[in-house]
Structure 1
Amino acid sequence: MLTQAENAEARRNYTYFEDQCTAYKALLATASLPFSTDLDVVTSAYRQQLFDGLLKIDQGLKARYELLRTEEGRQKLVAETINLDGHDVIDEVATSLQQLRATYQRIGLPGNEGYLHQAIHFDSFASMFNLDLGKALDGQTIKWAGNEHVLAYFQQLATFLTGWKTLVAATIKQGASVQDAVMYLPDFFESDLGIMTNEPVRVDEKRLHFRMGQHRLSQNIPRPK
């Protein structure tokens, strides 16, 4: 799953893909073709479109078409009548589709989340999200609605740990990691010896006083203004 920040990063990284999607949909709309990423569907619709135009001017063809009782028979007549050689629209649709599919395979998700096509197949991306990358990414993004307090609690904790990590790096261990910082925290509090207790955590003043001089805490902890 993505964070909101990773969602925004992915949108920035792949604006060119969104442009390709917009151009493809515009190509279909301009030719009055139905939205689809199935080339056979688009081709069939285009052939039917041309055939319908012929029916308006060729009464003999119209009579033959209306005599056919099965859809299979009618489609066979359409295919036999309409030759798409020289029609650039279908070639343009095929090329655009090929580019879309190739680009989609390369859309990587931030945060080591792999590739978007591993989570959503291209055909599903088209049918479920109408080639809208933003909507697809939103579907892969963490929703905190109803649990904002959980995120806020740990963000507050992160602020404290950031300050504590900086202090540890300056006074105890250079280049301290979060793990280092957490490891040193118990040094300043009374130990419960591993016993389960509901007692509040208390500062071990003796150890703190000793550590204060040892690690120059007085100089490195900001005084209240």
Structure 2
Amino acid sequence: MPFEPTAEIWSAILGACRVHSNKELGEIAAQKLLQLNSLNPGNYVLVSNVFAASGRWKDVEQVRMKMKGSGLKKTPGCSWIEIGNKLHTFIARDKSHPNSDEIYQKLAQITEKLEIEGGYVPQTKFVLHNVEEEEKVEMLYGHSERLAIAYGLLYLPVGTLIRITKNLRICGDCHTFCKLVSRFFGRELVVRDANRFHHFKDGVCSCGDFW
């Protein structure tokens, strides 16, 4: 390159390395990104996630400490859905919504149907925390977009398109979950995450499973 690569460039390279499982180049990109002392918390989270995916929990802790020392905080996952001209906000594992009990009950019913009819099995590899398998499953089930989907299925008329906005990139397991919902509940979903629009219909996503 005719100029020094920026944090954004190393971040893009690191993201590509994660997609294509290039650990050698990913290690270089991660170290370069950390050396730049970026003030973007997303870069630290990306590096942390790459280390976590490889089970390098000591490195994960070091990255988190470095991030904390820089006064940065990870942005919590948040999803929005508009129903009846009112915007409803959900945070991961959130129970502050006035209809929380009903939402979680509906989500449990959805998940059970997808497990029985769609063969859904939670992909805990997408939970990048050093916790037991059972807790990883619970964390996946509490992702904000699932709460928004459950609320949409509860209160939007049958056949109505469900539109959701998410501030972070949708995880691979939730992506599978959305495809199955579109197929086994006969509902189209549009999820706008931090990267792109995902249009789910009849068990297929417009991104072609590459996001």
Q: TM-score range by the shorter chain?
A: under 0.3
Higher RCO structure (Cα 8 Å, ≥6 apart): 1
The structure in which a higher percent of residues are strand is: 2
Decide which structure has the larger Cα Rg and report it: 1
Q: TM-score, normalised by structure 1?
A: 0.21
Q: TM-score, normalised by structure 2?
A: 0.22
